[in-house]
Amino acid sequence: MSMLEWAVQIAVVGLLGATLPMAWRLDRMLRALRADRAALEQGAAGLGEASRHAEAALMRLRATAELAGRQVAERVAGAEAIREDLRYLVERSEVLADRLESAVQAARPIASATSPAPQPVRSEAERELIRALGLQ
């Protein structure tokens, strides 16, 4: 073997020696990546499960909101009918109040001209006391 062959073989052995630690590091990194891949897959599976739970909860929430909306609409419709009834009653009562007020105003001059001074309203106890004292 010539010197050139020996130099080339020594260079190849040197390069193989330098490659060996790099290969070990690469192997460790690949193992870590595989372990991380399993953790990543577990995380993705957990995320998928959480997503399914969230979707189910969202569907229940939507159904509850729709039910509440229908109930509110029904109550508003019932309140609308009551409001219309009350509006009618208020209009009727205003008309009757106006008629009653007109009748009272028309009767005041007649009542004051024909009636004596009004007697005070007395309770039963006061009347018995007046009878007992002989004032009446």
Of 57, 34, 54, nearest to 46 by C-alpha is 54
| pLDDT recorded at residue 97 | 87
How far apart, in whole angstroms, are the C-alpha atoms of residue 118 and residue 111?
Answer: 11
How far apart, in whole angstroms, are the C-alpha atoms of residue 22 and residue 14?
Answer: 13
How far apart, in whole angstroms, are the C-alpha atoms of residue 6 and residue 1?
Answer: 7
How far is Cα of residue 95 from the mean position of the Cα atoms in its chain? 44
User: Do residues 136 and 130 lie in contact, with contact meaning Cβ atoms separated by under 8 Å?
Assistant: yes
Mind listing the pLDDT tens digit for each residue in 102-136? Answer: 888 887 777 666 655 556 667 888 888 888 887 66
| pLDDT recorded at residue 41 | 87
- What is the rounded average pLDDT for all residues in the chain? 86
Burial of residue 56 (number of CB atoms within 10 Å: 0-12, 13-18, 19+): exposed
| pLDDT recorded at residue 35 | 82
Q: Which amino acid is it at 50?
A: A
How far is Cα of residue 12 from the mean position of the Cα atoms in its chain? 76
| pLDDT recorded at residue 55 | 95
